Structure 1
Amino acid sequence: MRRASFRNGALGADRLEEDLVGLILCDEGHRLQNCENQTYCALAGMKAQRRVLLSVTPIQNDLLEYFSLVHFVNAGILGEAGEFRRKYERPIVRGRDADATDNEHRIGKEKLEELIAFVSRCIIRRTNDILSKYLPVKREHVDMTPKLSGKVAVLDALLALIRSGTDDQVVLISNYTQTLDLFQQLAALRHYPYVRLDGSMSIKKRAKMVEQFNDPSSKDFIFMLSSKAGGCGLNLIGANRLVMFDPNWNPANDDQAMARVWRDGQKKDCCIYRLLVTGSIEKIFQRQTHKKALSSCVVDCEEDVQRHFSAAQLKELFILSPETTTSDTHDNVVGV
Structure 2
Amino acid sequence: MVTGGVMRKYQIEGMMWICSLYENGLNGILADEMGLGKTIQSVSFLAHLYSMGVKGPFMIVAPLSTVTNWQREFARWTPSIETVLYHGSKEERRALREQIGFENKVKHPPSKSFPVIITSFEVAMNDAKKLANLNWKYLIVDEGHRLKNKDCRLLRELKSLNSDNRLLLSGTPLQNNLTELWSLLHFILPDIFQDLATFQTWFDFDEELHAEKGTARIIEEESKNKTVSKLHAILDPFLLRRLKTDVLINLPKKREYILMAPLTESQEKINKSIADKSLDSFLSEQITEFEVTDGNWERQGAVNNKAMSLMNVLMQMRKNCNHPYLFTAPFDSLGNIVVDERLVKSAGKLQLLDRMLTILRKNGHKVLIFSQMTKMLDLLEDYLELRGWPSHRIDGTVNWKDRQSLMDDYNSPTSNSFVFLLSTRSGGLGINLTTADTVIIYDGDFNPQQDLQAMDRCHRIGQTKPVSVFRLITVQSVESKIFERASNKRKLELVAIARKRFKVKNLTEIRQSISSTELVELLKPKVTVK
TM-score range, shorter chain: 0.7 to 0.9
CA distance, structure 2, for counterparts of residue 242 and residue 121 of structure 1: 36
Change in CA separation of 1:201 and 1:14 when aligned onto 2, cut-off 3 Å: closer
Equivalent residue runs for 1:138-149 within 5 Å? 138-146=254-262
> When the two structures are aligned, how many residues end up with a matched partner?
310
Q: Are the aligned partners of 1:173 and 1:226 in contact in 2 as well (CA < 8 Å)?
A: yes
Give yes or no for the alignment of 1:304 onto 2:520: yes
Query: Are the structure 2 counterparts of residues 219 and 131 from structure 1 closer, same or farther at C-alpha, using a change threshold of 3 Å?
Result: farther
Q: In the alignment, which residue of structure 2 is the partner of 1:232?
A: 429
Could you report, residue by residue, the CA deviation over 1:80-101 in whole angstroms, capped at 9, with x for unpaired residues? Answer: 001111221x245437844359
Residue 16 of structure 1 and its aligned partner are, at CA, apart by: 4.1
| AA of the residue aligned to 2:493 | S
1:268 correspondence with 2:465: yes
Structure 1 partner of 2:221:
107
Contact 1:98 1:307 in 2 (8 A): no
Q: Is residue 159 from structure 1 mapped to residue 332 from structure 2 by the alignment?
A: no
Q: Deviations over 1:67-115 (max 9, x none)?
A: 1111211224344001111221x24543784435977643356111111
User: Which whole-Å CA distance do the structure 1 matches of 2:172 and 2:161 have between them?
Assistant: 24
CA deviation profile, 1:19-47 (whole Å, cap 9, x unmatched): 53322211111011122222212222333
C-alpha distance in 1 between matches for 2:178 and 2:468? 31
One-letter amino acid of the counterpart of residue 230, structure 1: G
Aligned equivalent of 1:318: none
Residue type of the partner of 1:183?
L
Report if the CA contact (8 A) 1:95-1:105 is conserved. Answer: no
Q: CA separation in 2, counterparts of 1:291 and 1:126?
A: 20
Single out whichever of 14-23 and 61-70 deviates more from structure 2: 14-23
1:34 aligns with 2:149: yes
Which digits, 9 at most, give the CA deviation of each residue in 1:185-244, with x for residues without a partner? Answer: 221222212222222223222211111111122111111112232211211112111111
**Superposition deviation, residue 255 in structure 1:** 0.6
State the secondary structure of the residue aligned to 1:25. strand
**Does the 8 Å contact 2:494/2:522 carry over to 1?**
no
- What residue ranges of structure 2 are gaps of 5+ in the alignment? 1-55, 60-116, 265-346, 502-517
Question: Which residue pairs with 1:287 in the alignment?
Answer: 485
Aligned to 1:45: 160
CA distance in 2, matches of 1:217, 1:47: 49
1:18 CA drift (Å): 5.0
Contact 1:138 1:270 in 2 (8 A): yes
Secondary structure of the structure 1 residue equivalent to 2:392: strand
Question: How far 1:48 moved relative to its partner?
Answer: 2.7
- 1:195: which partner in 2? 392
- Say which of 215, 237, 244 aligns to 1:128: 244
Q: Give distance in 2, aligned partners of 1:19 and 1:293.
A: 41
Cα pair distance change 1:28/1:117, threshold 3 Å: same
For 1:252 and 1:274, the matched residues in 2 are separated by 14
Letter of the 2:220 counterpart: R
- 1:132 and 1:16 mapped to 2: Cα distance? 38
Provide the C-alpha distance between the structure 2 equivalents of 1:100 and 1:206, rounded to a whole number of angstroms: 43
* Paired residues of 1:95 and 1:106 also in contact (CA < 8 A): no
Q: Given the alignment of the two structures, is residue 22 of structure 1 paired with residue 137 of structure 2, yes or no?
A: yes
Verify the 8 A CA contact 1:51 1:73 in the aligned structure 2.
Answer: yes
How high is the sequence identity, in percent, across the aligned residues? 31
Change (3 A) 1:253 1:91: closer
Alignment of 1:2 onto 2:76: no
Write the distance in 1 (CA, Å) between the matches of 2:172 and 2:234: 19
- Cα gap change, 1:236 to 1:131, in 2 (>3 Å): farther
SS in 1 for 2:122: coil
User: Does the Cα contact within 8 Å between 2:58 and 2:137 map onto a contact in 1?
Assistant: no
Contact 1:77 1:118 in 2 (8 A): no
Larger radius of gyration: 2
Aligned-partner Cα distance in 2 for 1:242–1:26:
28
Amino acid at match of 1:286: E
Residue 235 of structure 1 aligns to a residue in which SS? coil
CA distance change for structure 1 residues 221 and 9 in 2, over 3 Å: closer, same or farther?
closer
Deviates more, 1:145-154 or 1:242-251: 145-154
Residues of 1 paired with 2:214 and 2:448: CA distance?
A: 24
Aligned residue for 1:139, secondary structure, equals strand
Instruction: For 1:123, give the aligned amino acid.
Output: L
Q: How high is the TM-score relative to the length of structure 1? A: 0.83
Question: Equivalents in 2 of 1:253, 1:178: separation in Å?
Answer: 19
When residues 162 and 3 of structure 1 are mapped into structure 2, their CA distance, relative to the original with a 3 A threshold, is: same
Distance 2:212 2:464 in 1: 40
Q: Secondary structure at the match of 2:421?
A: strand
TM-score, normalising length: structure 2: 0.54
1:94/1:108 contact within 8 Å kept:
no
